[in-house]
Amino acid sequence: MSRQPNRLPSGGRIDRAMPLGFRFDGRSYTGYAGDTLASALLANDVHLVGRSFKYHRPRGILGLGAEEPNALIQLARGNRSEPNLRATQVELFDGLDADSQNRWPCLKYDVGAVNSALHRLFPAGFYYKTFMWPASLWMTYEEVIRNAAGLGKAPEGPDPDRYEHMHAHPDVLIVGAGPAGLAAALAAGRTGARVILADEQAEFGGSLLSDDDVFINGKSGRDWVAEVVAELASMPAVTLLPRTCVHGYFDHNYLLAAERVTDHIGAVVPNTPRQRLWKIRARQVVLATGTLERPLVFRDNDRPGVMLSTAARGYAVRYGVAAGRRPLVVTGHDDGYRTALAYAARGIQLAGIVDLRPDPSGALVDAAREKGIDILAGHSVAGTHGGHRVEGVDVAEMNADGTGLAKITRRIDCDLVAMCGGFNPTVHLFSQSRGKLRWDADMNAFVPAKVHDTTHAPQRSVGGCAGVMSVAQSIKDGIKEGLEAARATGSTARQPAAPAVEEPGIGAHRTIWVLPSDKPVGHKGKHFVDFQNDVTAADLNLAAREGYRSIEHVKRYTTTGMGTDQGKTSNVNALAIVAATLGTDIPAVGTTTFRPPYTPTTIGAYGGRNIGALFDPVRTTAVDSWHRANGAQFEHVGQWMRPWYYPKAGETMRQAVDRECLAARNAVGILDASTLGKIDVRGKDAAEFLNRVYSNAWMKLGIGKCRYGLMLNDAGFVMDDGVTTRLADDHFHMTTTTGGAAGVLGHLEEHLQTEWPDLEVYLTSVTEQWSVASICGAKCRDLLAALCDDIDLSNEAFPFMAMKEGTVAGIPARVYRISFTGELSFEINVPRRYGMALWEVLMAAGEKHGITPYGTEAMHVLRAERGFIIVGQETDGSVTPIDLGMDWIVSKQKVDFIGKRGLFRPDLMLPDRKQLVGLLTEDPSEVLPEGGQIVEDVKPAPPMTMLGHVTSSYYSVNCGRSIAMALVKGGHARKGDTLSVPLAGKTVKVTVTDPVFFDLEGSRRDG
Amino acid sequence: MQLIPCPWCGPRDDAEFHYGAEAHVARPAVPSERSDAEWEAYLYLRRNTKGPFAERWLHTNGCRRWFNVIRDTYTHEIFASYKPGEPMPDIDQLTAKKDA
């Protein structure tokens, strides 16, 4: 247990009865419940918390919350480790273990700091200038840069935590629970409207938690917060979400918020997610996101101990921590005096107040004078001293317009510089929702001007984020807008009275974007603008001098505003500096685009439960457990898991597939074909509909007869194929490819609904209704005959391309005589609940015939032996039936079908289109790789003129050699030619053939 | 994440829908009478309007019905939605009403 040297003897919203031990960079410290990691580190006098990104300069804590650019830490270890957390937002818990980032080998002695000495080598646009040439070295450069620029480390294993998604549809969403947001929530909540109040911090209250000089209805601001929160908590329609950062504002009032549910506990809580992602569709939105303080840009303004004024105040008031024992305030704004007075009230002697204004006046200034604080009016900070901690500043009086120094500098010793450069309304969410900003010359900041879409995304900004700096006005506006938001959703309640607020009056301020020094900008020191990305005023000047005009280009060239903090403290300063260099005004330069998320958000929160097995549905057939029990290897086909092959002990894949292929022809093969898409087509116009969506003729198909069809799109390209059977005059059973089923149903529905609403046709997906065992091979008729006594299986009674209804092993079945292998084949369809029973009966009865289950790999080989295409393998969306040599299936008689006109486009009728052919390798054991490129003239090295590619390639045990199918330019006219397939290290010679390799007469299909 | 008004189901999150590009592009009644240029235009050429636009949407994860929406492609404002076969509303009138 270490003591906490900077902990004030009293005060702060911390629980002194609850000390917490934690580690930072391996050292042990103590803080209190209610601390953030940042406040606990400062209490322990740890100011040096990181190294800067480019120059590896020592950096300290700058801010109090989300705006923090420097104090990025890596929290926890193992697979729970999380990088780039802002120490200012990490709530302290017992046993917290954090490390600083971006330093090697350790924070105090960092090797990369040599970059700082070499700063002339790192100008704006450094990457672009240095690494453009030679391009071949980029990979080498990149590796070195990535190592040097380490913003934390990602854990290597999967995230062990759980994340949930929540959906909410409130009447009013209020973002931010400072004075304005609390007032809005109270006014809206009292109407009975459904309200969500979300705040990124653990505790509601916003600025009131850090200010001790605001009194509401005669009580301290913090007491008023407690009363309001208690009343809100008692309202059943109000949902309070602390620790919830609304970080994205999308179209039509859809907002995303990440709730940190257990992060602050530092342990896994049973049955509780680590974080929740809230998906909120709000009827009305009230933004009360407050302000972010601007740093001042002066020479070497990045030393640890140089801090935002409100942050310094917040550490003292909210956390009871003296961020310094001899603080110096630098300000052009009355608000800086509040920080000085807060420290003075805690018995800490100020080193002085450097005020940019030549004649500061007002109640706060008078109060500071009364306290005997030295006020240096009209002065500038010319530079700072110190190494790992600021030790002093050089100050001097400025000339009248603040562009230079009027006197020589003198040094003031201090250990904390609290700087106030004014305030920027936090317009991030407003801007994400595409609201227009306007430059407020009085405030020297961008404020909301016009809501993007008042109809679909009604919203209001209140308080600081609307440019309102007084608590009284913020509460007033909060009440008014909160009530009006509720009224817009139907409430008729009356407006409650606004409380009486006492607060310090804030007078006029002075903004100087770059404080003048005794050296020009860029000499003997650095004026940091973007602390996280190490962008200086000199870098911005250089970019402007080099011709960059668009602020979006300046941003990318200098990387200003591109860190994990997205320039929360730097963007407006950068704009102002660029505007000054360009000799234009700030509104003319404009802002860069605000994009979600407002603060970095864990990817796990977005993933929620949609990870692992729940990422995408897995579809399995009724026979799945049998396949698994019998050693099947699976492959994904669309969302389906299909058996790929069934290896026996000791078998290679090739041996298993060869065995399955032999059995499927010579004995009995059995395939689980349940995954094929099945669509029930019904209605009086069903035949006419099929006639329009397939390329062949359908009107005269007899009942109980099957027909193969190719489905084209209107461009003329093949999109799917399958066998459709007529069950009745007005009723068809269509099958599609396994992967194409949903697309086909969509294509058919689209045409029915939008082109042919006059057709009476109803489509129903019945894929899951049927379990299909496809049996084939020389003995399959014998097998089926033994199990089926109500269907005559002879060729005469049950010819090829016919369907019979009957029973198989007592199970009601539709049996189709269709074949994808070219063998005699029966596809037995039974209701899914009988699928396993049928399979087991077939396996048992087939044993004596040598029944062999085969998977998709054998199926592919068997169909390729017969030259049958697979849509998506032989076709790629640019292949016509003519290219496939399937002219026979394209009706010449039909006036129209989908794709007919497309086939007559001139490019589709060219003779040298890529056409489907077979390929036989010179060496029969050589199996070409699928995708292999085919050339006529082999050259020693690419490029060569490519004629096409191999689409399917297998070793066929039935053919006793390898076989392949390919798309080759003008292939139909090249049969007999010898072409080449150049591969790594060799070239394979191939002969172009017909794409049929086995049973050329097609005699086996009848058994 | 827009809120798309399905004429059958009411307003729903756009994650439930698929976009179907320009509306009121009818498939020619007698395609064989269309020139190559006309067929190319039917297949591939669509207006790329910045502003109010009549477009098709499909309520994929809902009622699976197609419908049309008048939507500003730049601001994402939605002015109307209607069933297929219904006439296209007068876009100028719709958007003017809003400005008034």
Average pLDDT, stretch A73-83?
A: 89
Q: Which of A453, A715, A749 sits opposite B43 (nearest CB)?
A: A715
Share of chain A above pLDDT 90, in %: 88
- Say if residue A203's pLDDT is above 80: yes
Name the band, by pLDDT with cuts 50, 70 and 90, for residue A676.
very high
- Say if residue A849's pLDDT is above 90: yes
Distance between B30 CA and the closest CA of chain A, angstroms: 7
Chains A, B: CB contacts under 8 A, how many? 71
Q: Would you call A617 an interface residue with chain B, using a CB distance cutoff of 8 Å?
A: no
DSSP state, residue A483? H
pLDDT at residue A154 in the model: 86
CA distance A122 to A244: 39
Q: Which of A250, A901, A905 sits opposite B1 (nearest CB)?
A: A250
Q: At A779, which helix (H) or strand (E)?
A: none
CB burial of residue A119 (10 Å; 0-12, 13-18, 19+)? middle
CA distance A655 to A406: 92
CA distance A797 to A779: 18
- Which residues are within 8 A (CB) of A9 and not within 5 positions of it... i.e. 6 or more apart? none
The structure tokens listed for A745 are 């149903």
CA distance A335 to A327: 15
Q: Which residues of A touch B56 (CB under 8 A)?
A: 754
- Say if residue A823's pLDDT is above 90: yes
Tell me the C-alpha to C-alpha distance, in Å, between residue B23 and each of A84, A245, B20. 47, 39, 8
- Say if residue A1's pLDDT is above 80: no
pLDDT tens per residue, chain B (100 residues)? 999 999 999 999 999 999 999 999 999 999 999 999 999 999 999 999 999 999 999 999 999 999 999 999 999 999 999 999 999 999 999 888 655 4
* Cβ <8 Å between B3 and A455: no
Q: Which residue of A has its CA nearest to B76?
A: A251
Q: Which residues of A touch B14 (CB under 8 A)?
A: 251
Q: Which residue of B has its CA nearest to A894?
A: B32
Of the spans A101-110, A486-495, A659-668, which averages the highest pLDDT?
A659-668
* Cβ <8 Å between A900 and B32: yes
The structure tokens listed for B28 are 């020619």
CA distance B78 to A933: 49
Q: Which residue of A has its CA nearest to B31?
A: A901
Q: Which amino acid is at A648?
A: K
CB A431 within 8 A of CB A457: no
Tell me the C-alpha to C-alpha distance, in Å, between residue A185 and each of A27, A217, A330, A418, A722. 43, 18, 36, 33, 60
Q: What are phi and psi of A723, to 5 degrees?
A: -105, 130
pLDDT at residue A22 in the model: 97
Q: What is the pLDDT of residues A687-723, one digit of tens each?
A: 999 999 999 999 999 999 999 999 999 999 999 999 9
Q: What are phi and psi of A295, to 5 degrees?
A: -70, 165
Closest CA to A518 of A413, A420, A416, A398: A398
Average pLDDT, stretch A222-241?
A: 98
Average pLDDT, chain A: 94
Q: Which residues of B touch A714 (CB under 8 A)?
A: 27, 31, 42-43
* Cβ <8 Å between B43 and A456: no
Q: What is the pLDDT of residues A164-176, one digit of tens each?
A: 999 999 999 999 9
Average pLDDT, stretch A615-626?
A: 96
Q: Which residues of B touch A895 (CB under 8 A)?
A: 30, 32
ipTM computed for the complex: 0.96
Average pLDDT, stretch A867-881?
A: 97
Indicate the pTM of the whole model.
Answer: 0.91
DSSP state, residue B84? T
Q: Would you call A454 an interface residue with chain B, using a CB distance cutoff of 8 Å?
A: no
CB A475 within 8 A of CB A179: yes
- pLDDT-wise least confident of A58-72, A75-89, A749-763, B58-72: A75-89
Q: Which of A253, A456, A755 sits opposite B78 (nearest CB)?
A: A456
- Say if residue A653's pLDDT is above 70: yes
Distance between A258 CA and the closest CA of chain B, angstroms: 17
Q: Would you call A631 an interface residue with chain B, using a CB distance cutoff of 8 Å?
A: no
Angle at A158 between CA A157 and CA A160, to 5 degrees: 120
Q: How far apart are the first and last CA of chain B?
A: 27
For residue A412, give the 3-state DSSP assignment. strand
Share of chain B above pLDDT 70, in %: 96
- pLDDT-wise least confident of A109-123, A237-251, A295-309: A109-123
Q: What is the pLDDT of residues A585-612, one digit of tens each?
A: 999 988 888 999 999 999 999 999 999 8
Q: Would you call B40 an interface residue with chain A, using a CB distance cutoff of 8 Å?
A: yes
Share of chain A above pLDDT 70, in %: 95
Q: Which of A250, A453, A896 sits opposite B77 (nearest CB)?
A: A453
Q: Would you call A910 an interface residue with chain B, using a CB distance cutoff of 8 Å?
A: no
Closest CA to B24 of A12, A754, A774: A754
pLDDT at residue B100 in the model: 45
Q: Which residue of B has its CA nearest to A906?
A: B36
Q: What is the pLDDT of residues A885-929, one digit of tens each?
A: 999 999 999 999 999 999 999 999 999 999 999 999 999 999 999
pLDDT at residue A104 in the model: 63
> Taking every pair of C-alpha atoms in chain A, what is the biggest distance, in angstroms?
115
Mention the CATH class of domain B3-99: alpha beta
Average pLDDT, stretch A820-830?
A: 97
Q: Residues, chain A, total?
A: 1007
- Say if residue A45's pLDDT is above 50: yes
* Cβ <8 Å between A900 and B84: no
CA distance A652 to A809: 35
**Orientation angle between helical segments A179-190 and A221-233, nearest 10 degrees:** 30
Distance between B91 CA and the closest CA of chain A, angstroms: 17
* Domain coordinates in residue numbering, chain B: 3-99
CB A477 within 8 A of CB A496: no
Q: Which residues of B touch A746 (CB under 8 A)?
A: 58, 60
- Which residues are within 8 A (CB) of A155 and not within 5 positions of it... i.e. 6 or more apart? A78, A79, A80, A81, A82
Q: Would you call A455 an interface residue with chain B, using a CB distance cutoff of 8 Å?
A: yes
DSSP A50-97: EE-TTT--EE----SSTT-SS-EEEESSGGG-EEEEETTTPBP-TTEE
CB A14 within 8 A of CB A319: yes
Q: Which residue of B has its CA nearest to A895?
A: B32
Query: Which structural domains are found in chain A, ordered by start?
Result: 1-160 (3.10.20.440), 163-291+425-502 (3.50.50.60), 295-421 (3.50.50.60), 521-584 (1.10.10.1100), 672-852 (3.30.1360.120), 900-1006 (2.40.30.110)
Name the band, by pLDDT with cuts 50, 70 and 90, for residue A307.
very high
What residue ranges in A183-274 does DSSP mark as E strands?
Answer: 195-198, 215-216, 219-220, 238-241, 244-250, 254-260
Q: Which of A254, A452, A757 sits opposite B85 (nearest CB)?
A: A757
* Cβ <8 Å between B84 and A455: no
Q: Which residue of B has its CA nearest to A452?
A: B75
Q: Which residues of A touch B64 (CB under 8 A)?
A: 749
Closest CA to A11 of A166, A156, A220: A220
pLDDT at residue A2 in the model: 54
CA distance A951 to A777: 26
DSSP A149-185: T------SS-----EEEEEE--SEEEE--SHHHHHHH
